[in-house]
Amino acid sequence: AQSVTQPDIHITVSEGASLELRCNYSYGATPYLFWYVQSPGQGLQLLLKYFSGDTLVQGIKGFEAEFKRSQSSFNLRKPSVHWSDAAEYFCAVEGASSGNTGKLIFGQGTTLQVKP
Amino acid sequence: DTGVSQNPRHKITKRGQNVTFRCDPISEHNRLYWYRQTLGQGPEFLTYFQNEAQLEKSRLLSDRFSAERPKGSFSTLEIQRTEQGDSAMYLCASSLGAMTGGRETQYFGPGTRLLVL
């Protein structure tokens, strides 16, 4: 069965420091991978997605992610974190099912805290 | 494009009562998804519609849960005889699935937070 693991439940970084959030997936075929961000009391906003092609994907708000098939990983990075980046981050894979359902399987999330 | 909207945003109910949530997707999006998110967890898929047809339901969706999407526009999720374990955030998402031939982004609404006392 498909699954997504985010090993870090909670991460604290200083403002201006670099950030890397880890995501590992389990999926037999070529995965479709996503990173979403959720601020308190709000829905999920898409940061970036990988379907095919270039394995380094650029997203909104200065985020990028790199797909590494050999490591089954899709880690999210940002060179310099801003206080407004404090939120919960979810990695997701599009699950396989009978037909093209598009349903997403999410990791349990990583909460990012930014220190001034 | 006004985004996905959900109503109500918050609902407090007593155990055993029925509740209904509404989701209005982005207009012209043919796919609509419902997810449930409990505290400290990622969203879990519940069910999805392609136009008005409900094409898949998770085993998480017990007999007390029912979802509809009449005329392929808005959707409702009803929970009958609520239990304390139903307390969660219920998220709706919509997308332009399949018709364009590729994977499409799901756009999420703000969610409905349910508390069952």
Q: What is the residue-level pLDDT of chain A in tens, covering all 116 positions?
A: 788 999 999 999 999 999 999 999 987 777 889 999 999 878 899 999 998 888 999 999 999 999 999 999 999 999 999 999 999 999 999 866 545 678 899 999 999 999 99
Whether residue B44 and residue A106 make contact (CB cut-off 8 A), yes or no, is yes
- A104 with B106: CB under 8 angstroms? yes
Whether residue A108 and residue B110 make contact (CB cut-off 8 A), yes or no, is no
End-to-end CA distance of chain B: 36
Distance CA B92, CA B10 (A): 14
Q: What is the pLDDT of residues B19-71, one digit of tens each?
A: 999 999 999 899 999 999 999 899 999 999 999 999 889 988 889 999 999 98
For residue B42, the chain A residues in CB contact (below 8 A) are: 4, 90, 92, 106-109
Q: Which of B35, B38, B42 is nearest to B4 (CA)?
A: B35
Distance CA B96, CA B32 (A): 9
Closest B-chain CA to A49 = B105
B109–chain A nearest CA distance, Å: 5
Distance CA B90, CA B38 (A): 9
B5–chain A nearest CA distance, Å: 10
